[in-house]
Structure 1
Amino acid sequence: MLKRIALFSLLLLAGGILGCGEQSKEKPNKEPAAPQASDSLETAAGTRSEKSEKEAEEPFVLTEENAIDFFFDYQKNLKANRVRLTTSLGSFTIALHDNVPYHKANFIYLTRKGYFDNTMFHRVVRGFIIQGGNADNRETARKRTEIGRYLLPPDTRKGYRHHRGTVSMPSSEINNPHMLASPYEFFIVVTDPGSYHLDGDYTPFGKVVEGMDVVDRINQVPVDDGDWPSQNVYILKAEVLD
């Protein structure tokens, strides 16, 4: 356990903490910009309240120091492996991979905490991906503050590729050579048959098993120059299917 903590701490020191930055724009005749967390929005949730005199009475908050141990314990007795997302354009179901334990546990934990409710698909690149889990509202910033500020290490060697329908986790954009994952966001590949240039850099942790037509519908919405949908596409509710 101490080795695991030490390794993750080194990754975090190498990767750096999430910073502010703008996403790259797609360039003609090249692959679309790779999925990256919307760090400029995440910073709204970056501050934590001061510690109280009685630490034991504080609500539990995830940090870079305790996240891996927490999710290691959380996933031990985790039987559920499906999550249904109900969006403003319809519903779809994701099956999570059991052998990507930290990313699976993280997604189920956030779902059960109600984090994804009322977030948005804030980045849509036609024929490539839809990316969700963020929003430009105070509620989402508040949730991130209450849950905590942390990153997840990549887990790319389980044999999963970025086929169409794959659910994967974007990385933080700034000062992050180890591609540490931003835990609050996810993206879904819509490319047919897949976007395999993402393999090895991002962690596939699930796949859409029902409602891929809804994912395609989201991928077809008009967007502005920053790939943000012209009309917000909301995740109205996320629920774990036990």
Structure 2
Amino acid sequence: MFLKQTALTTSILLFFLASCGESPKKDNSKVERQVAKTDSIPKEEKEPTTEVKEETFVLNEENAIDFFFNYAKETTQDKVRLTTSMGSFTVELYDNVPYHKANFIYLTRKGYFDNTQFHRVVKDFIIQGGNSDDKDTSRKRRLIGRYLLPPDAKKGYKHHRGTISMPSSERNNPHKLASPYEFFIVVTKPGSYHLDGSYTPFGKVIEGMDVVDAINNVPVGDGDWPWQNVYILKAEVL
């Protein structure tokens, strides 16, 4: 009886010791695989972007002729409408005066003439536009460039009424190189032919000559500048 009790006690003790030992390790492989799967693909690091600023093209006396030679070959349009504070008129440009035509088209597309003025008005003679006392006009000239155009007065065009022509630069200019940013329109009847040979006609008014005449009749002060500014609100290639 004693032996049986002893054996039973021993068995219970061994069972208790076994129960208090280390538990079997859990299989954590699934968890480890899940973590590995989540972190195995590193986040893409964005490469630093370097902004490349395009070099601004500026016209000058070295590149202007070549530029307008090529520009003229690519330009098929030959009409420009100028909307002024007194109405609008349209000019047609001559194809065989390529540099002056290309220059006028180019400046129009660049928005140069917008918000410039007819700054010189000579009664029964001309109206001259393309300048302004606004600082924005000087800024636009600096951005486009500083250059002159060669005269092209031997194509047979005369300064008839309605002719658009280009004045020469006021700089030391024995060759009558043209100032590219300004133009004048003849209002004299039938024309101002004493200008032939000295300036380059490059087009004519084909619509709205009454607006040109109205501008020519505005009151002016010293230097032929109108008392009330006459603006070119917008110039657009048709």
Task: Please report the TM-score for the alignment, with normalisation by the length of structure 1.
Answer: 0.76
Pick the aligned partner of 1:57 from 35, 44, 54: 54
| Pairing of 1:185-200 with structure 2 (within 5 A) | 185-200=182-197
Pick the aligned partner of 1:68 from 65, 69, 88: 65
Partner of 1:150: 147
Pick the aligned partner of 1:231 from 228, 231, 234: 228
Pick the aligned partner of 1:170 from 167, 172, 178: 167
Stretch deviating more after TM superposition (126-135 or 170-179): 170-179
Higher Cα Rg: structure 1 or 2? 2
Partner of 1:42: none
Equivalent residues, number? 187
Q: CA deviation at 1:174?
A: 3.1
- Which whole-Å deviations, capped at 9, do the CAs of 1:77-97 have from their partners, x for residues lacking one? 211000000000000000000
Partner of 2:208: 211
| Pairing of 1:127-142 with structure 2 (within 5 A) | 127-142=124-139
Secondary structure (helix, strand or coil) at the match of 1:57 reads coil
Partner of 2:181: 184
Cα distance in 2 for partners of 1:79, 1:207 equals: 17
Secondary structure (helix, strand or coil) at the match of 1:76 reads helix
Secondary structure (helix, strand or coil) at the match of 2:223 reads coil
Task: Please report the TM-score for the alignment, with normalisation by the length of structure 2.
Answer: 0.77
Structure with the larger RCO, 1 or 2 (CA within 8 Å, 6+ apart) = 1
Unmatched 5+ residue regions in structure 1?
1-55
**More helix per residue:** 2
- Which whole-Å deviations, capped at 9, do the CAs of 1:81-120 have from their partners, x for residues lacking one? 0000000000000000000000000000000000000000
Structure 2 residue 188 is the aligned partner of structure 1 residue 201? no
Cα RMSD (Å) of the superposition?
1.1
Q: CA deviation at 1:173?
A: 1.9
Cα distance in 2 for partners of 1:107, 1:162 equals: 18
Structure 2 residue 113 is the aligned partner of structure 1 residue 126? no
Amino acid at match of 2:100: H
Pick the aligned partner of 1:92 from 89, 110, 119: 89
Runs of 4+ in 1 over 2 A off after TM superposition: none
Amino acid at match of 2:228: Q
Secondary structure (helix, strand or coil) at the match of 2:234 reads strand
Cα distance in 1 for partners of 2:171, 2:68 equals: 25
Q: CA deviation at 1:175?
A: 1.4
Amino acid at match of 2:169: S
| % identity of equivalent residues | 80
Cα distance in 2 for partners of 1:137, 1:225 equals: 18
- Which whole-Å deviations, capped at 9, do the CAs of 1:153-208 have from their partners, x for residues lacking one? 00000000000000000001231110000000000000000000000000000000
- Which whole-Å deviations, capped at 9, do the CAs of 1:113-159 have from their partners, x for residues lacking one? 00000000000000000000000111101100000000000000000
Unmatched 5+ residue regions in structure 2?
1-52
Cα distance in 1 for partners of 2:147, 2:227 equals: 30
Amino acid at match of 1:228: W
Cα distance in 1 for partners of 2:157, 2:204 equals: 10
Cα distance in 2 for partners of 1:124, 1:75 equals: 30
